[in-house]
Amino acid sequence: MNGPLGVCRYSNDNVIVCDKAVYHKLEEISKPGSPQFWLYLSFYVFLLIFSGFMAGLTLILNSTDLTTLEVLQSAGSELEKRYSRRLIPLAKKHYRVLLTLVTLNALGVIILPILLDRLQNSIVAVLVSAALITLFGDVLPLAICKRNGLKIGYYSAIIIWTFYYLLLPFTLPLSMMMEKMLGKYQGHFFRRSELEALIAVHSTRQSTASKDSIDADSSALPPRNLLLSEEEVRLIRATMHMHIDTARSVMVKWEDAVKLEVGEIITPKLIESIYKCGFTRIPIYEKPATPVGILNVHYLLAMKGAVRVTVKTFIFSIRDMPEAVLHPKFVDSKTKAFQLMEMFQTGCLPRMVFVTLSRKRENIVIGIASLTDILRRWMSIGDETDDISSSLNSSS
């Protein structure tokens, strides 16, 4: 066949060779209703669903990280524990699984316009693919997987593992590069300030749920039994500040403490005033501020009549009674309150200690501290007040 390009011949139905130049015949758009049309359309729908499925799984992987799954495994419902147990191994391989899902999603997004180009012209194929991918490949899967992430991830784990091993030769070197650049993935950990803010949000939600319960849609609010009360939130936030406190911040100042001087005369009026204070232990000292011991108030209240003796004489008379007068123990003012509470609980320290401040190689007593003072400081509970009367009655 002769033409403007010279001598041309058909190599096959789709290729023409003109003077050694090869020309390919443009592919025709598949006619609606033809077998080829339905084949392309079916494959297009499959890839659209597959791409959206991979996008949803990617959201699940990023939203339910390793920390969240470990929390659910420890404190979730039985169903959540079962879901999280299957997903934790995937979460531990975060970078590789993420690369697998993103790669599969990207392949689907790339192939979709190419397939639609066989059904429509190029401009229509691009516009329609963009709209369908946005709606069915991103928006709907993300909305569905956001609400049912654990359940979908649980039933899709086998599919994820299958593609994981198929694409491992490709994702392994990339994941190793990501670990070198970004560090090993360990899940999300909240800083102390972030945890405090998170707890404060729960408090705000509790207040909002209480105030708007009449006007608001009850289905939009979380169940009340899942919310923290304001008292619970306050105690949790107070506990989070424990690491800041020291013996000096929880102590009672020496000048404000209820105490007895060894030369002071014990009178009924003095005994009554001590009883009204409600303390079970009172420090004994020599002037100006030298601690001698810690008196168990029960023995003082048990005195009969109006015996007028000095505190020193009284202490000497009960020296052989168990725990009547404890030897003074001292702690530095910089001692962490956490450490101090642990020593109280383990019995390393008596129920009350003297807090000292080092000045010019001399330890000066600046206050007293007890387990009650620590609890009062952290959780704003009242003073520890024993029912001294009932205690005396039971001992008599």
Residue 139 belongs to a domain: yes
Query: Could you tell me if 175 and 119 lie in one domain?
Result: yes
Copy the structure tokens of residue 352: 């009350």
- Say whether 268 sits in a helix, a strand or coil: helix
Residue 171 belongs to a domain: yes
Largest pairwise CA distance in the chain: 140
Element (H, E) at 370: strand 362-370
Domain CATH for 369: 3.10.580.10
Residue 16 belongs to a domain: no
Query: Could you tell me if 365 and 284 lie in one domain?
Result: yes
Confidence check: pLDDT of 328 > 70: yes
**Whose structure tokens read 């048990």?**
302
Confidence check: pLDDT of 2 > 70: no
Residue 382 belongs to a domain: yes
Beta bridge partners of 294: 283, 326
Residue 3 belongs to a domain: no
Query: Could you tell me if 263 and 389 lie in one domain?
Result: yes
| One-letter amino acid of 373 | D
**Domain total of the chain:** 3
Confidence check: pLDDT of 345 > 70: yes
The pLDDT tens digits of the residues spanning 231-245 come to 777 778 777 777 788
Query: Could you tell me if 204 and 273 lie in one domain?
Result: no
Query: Could you tell me if 336 and 363 lie in one domain?
Result: yes
Residue 7 belongs to a domain: no
Confidence check: pLDDT of 382 > 70: no
**Whose structure tokens read 């000096």?**
248
Residue 30 belongs to a domain: no
Are 356 and 363 contacting, i.e. CB atoms less than 8 angstroms apart? yes
Bond before 288 cis per omega within 30 degrees: yes
Are 318 and 325 contacting, i.e. CB atoms less than 8 angstroms apart? yes
Alpha carbon dihedral 241, 243, 247, 252, in 10-degree steps, equals 10
Element (H, E) at 266: strand 265-266
Beta bridge partners of 265: 310
Are 395 and 389 contacting, i.e. CB atoms less than 8 angstroms apart? no
The pLDDT tens digits of the residues spanning 22-41 come to 655 545 555 565 677 778 77
Query: Could you tell me if 162 and 203 lie in one domain?
Result: no
Query: Could you tell me if 282 and 389 lie in one domain?
Result: yes
Residue 8 belongs to a domain: no
Beta bridge partners of 286: 290
pTM: 0.57
Query: Could you tell me if 267 and 150 lie in one domain?
Result: no
Query: Could you tell me if 309 and 231 lie in one domain?
Result: no
The domain in which residue 203 lies consists of 195-209+224-240
**Residue 258 to residue 373: CA distance in whole angstroms:** 14
Query: Could you tell me if 251 and 230 lie in one domain?
Result: no
Confidence check: pLDDT of 310 > 70: yes
Question: What is the pLDDT of the chain when averaged over all its residues?
Answer: 77
Task: Kindly state the average pLDDT of the residues 298-309.
Answer: 74
**Residue 369 to residue 54: CA distance in whole angstroms:** 60
Give the pLDDT band (50/70/90) at residue 162. very high
